[in-house]
Amino acid sequence: MKIQTLILTLLATAGTALGSQVYSNLWIPPTLTGPIYNLNLHATNKYYLPGSNTVTYAYNNVDFWGPTLIMSNGDTVQINLTNNLPDTTTTHWHGFHIPAIMDGGPHETIPTGTTWSPTFTVLNRASTYWYHPHLHTLTQNHLGHGAGGFIIVHDAQESALPLPRTYGVDDIPLVLTSRRFYTTAAQLNQFNVTNGATGCAYGDYELVNGCMNFGATNVEVFLPQQYVRLRILNAEIERVYNLGFSNNLTFYQIGTDGGLVNAPVPLTRVVLAPGERTEILLNLGTNAIGSAVNLMAYNSASSLGSTLSFGYPGEESGTSGEFGSLLNDINFQILHIVVTNATANPILALPTVLCTNTFWTTANVTKSRTITLTGGQPPSGVFVFDSSPFSINVVNQYVSLNAVEEWTIVNTSIFSHAFHIHDVEFTPLARTGSGVMTGIQAYEQGWKDTIYVQQNSSVSFIAKFDNFASPYNPFMYHCHMIDHEDEGTMAQFVVQNTNTEDLYITSCTRTGTNQNINLNFNATPGTTYQLLFSTNFTTGSWSPVATVTSDGTSVNYYETNATRLALARGFYRINEPTNNY
Identify whether 67 is part of a domain.
Answer: no
Q: What is the pLDDT of residue 236?
A: 98
378 shares a domain with 468: yes
Is there a domain that residue 217 lies in? Answer: no
Q: Is residue 464 part of a domain?
A: yes
Domain assignment present for residue 444? The answer is: yes
Q: Quick one: DSSP state of residue 247?
A: G
Same domain assignment for residues 518 and 567: yes
Query: Does residue 265 sit in helix, strand or coil?
Result: strand
The reply to whether 430 and 509 lie within a common domain is: no
Would you give per-residue pLDDT tens digits along the chain (581 residues)? 444 434 333 333 334 444 456 778 999 999 999 999 999 999 999 999 988 999 999 999 999 999 999 999 999 999 999 999 999 999 999 999 999 999 999 999 999 999 999 999 999 999 999 999 999 999 999 999 999 999 999 999 999 999 999 999 999 999 999 999 998 777 899 999 988 778 899 999 999 999 996 665 679 999 999 999 999 999 999 999 999 999 999 999 999 999 999 999 999 999 999 999 999 999 999 999 999 999 999 999 999 999 999 999 999 989 999 999 999 999 999 999 999 999 999 999 999 999 999 999 999 999 999 999 999 876 678 999 999 999 999 999 999 999 999 999 999 999 999 999 999 999 999 999 999 999 999 999 999 999 999 999 999 999 999 999 988 899 999 999 999 999 999 999 999 987 643 445 556 666 555 567 777 777 767 777 788 888 876 556 788 888 887 766 677 788 888 888 888 778 787 776 433 32
Which pLDDT score, from 0 to 100, does residue 2 have?
A: 43
Sequence-separated (6 or more) residues with CB below 8 Å from residue 405: 365, 366, 367, 368, 369, 399, 462, 463, 464, 465
Same domain, 467 and 518: no
Q: Is residue 544 part of a domain?
A: yes
CATH number assigned to the domain comprising residue 566: 2.60.40
**Count of structural domains, the chain:** 2
Q: What is the DSSP letter of 164?
A: -
Q: Are residues 377 and 485 in the same domain?
A: yes
Beta pairing partners, 271: 242
Q: Which residues contact 378 (CB under 8 A, 6 or more apart)?
A: none
Q: Of 147, 177, 151, 2, give the one whose Cα is nearest residue 84.
A: 147
Residue 14 CB coordination number (10 Å): 7
What is the per-residue pLDDT for 537? 61
Is the sign of the CA dihedral 187, 191, 194, 200 positive or negative?
positive
Residue 266 zone, left/alpha/beta (φ > 0; ψ -120 to 50; rest): beta
pLDDT at 520: 75
How far is CA 100 from each of CA 239, 410, 549, rounded to the nearest angstrom?
29, 26, 10
Cα–Cα distance, 42 to 63 (Å, whole number): 9
466 and 417 together in one domain = yes
Same domain for 536 and 462 = no
Q: Domain range spanning residue 511?
A: 505-575
**Which residue, 479, 496, 513, sits at the end of a domain?**
496
Q: Is residue 224 part of a domain?
A: no
* Concatenated DSSP letters of 497-561: ----TT--EEEEEEETTTTEEEEEEE--TT-EEEEEEESS--TT--EEEEEEE-SSSEEEEEE--
Of 465, 496, 527, at which residue does a domain stop?
Answer: 496
Question: Could you give the CA distance from residue 560 to residue 545 in angstroms, rounded to a whole number?
Answer: 10
Residues 482 and 419 in one domain: yes
Domain for residue 581, yes or no? Answer: no
Which CATH number is 378's domain given?
A: 2.60.40.420
- Say yes or no: 491 and 423 in one domain: yes
* Residues 374 and 468 occupy one common structural domain: yes
Return the number of other C-beta atoms located less than 10 Å from residue 391's C-beta.
12
Provide the 3-class DSSP secondary structure of residue 305.
helix
Would you state the pLDDT for residue 387? Answer: 92
Among 432, 465, 496, the domain boundary falls at 496
Q: For residue 514, what pLDDT is reported?
A: 52
Task: Output the pLDDT for position 571.
Answer: 79
Strand partners, 171: 167, 229
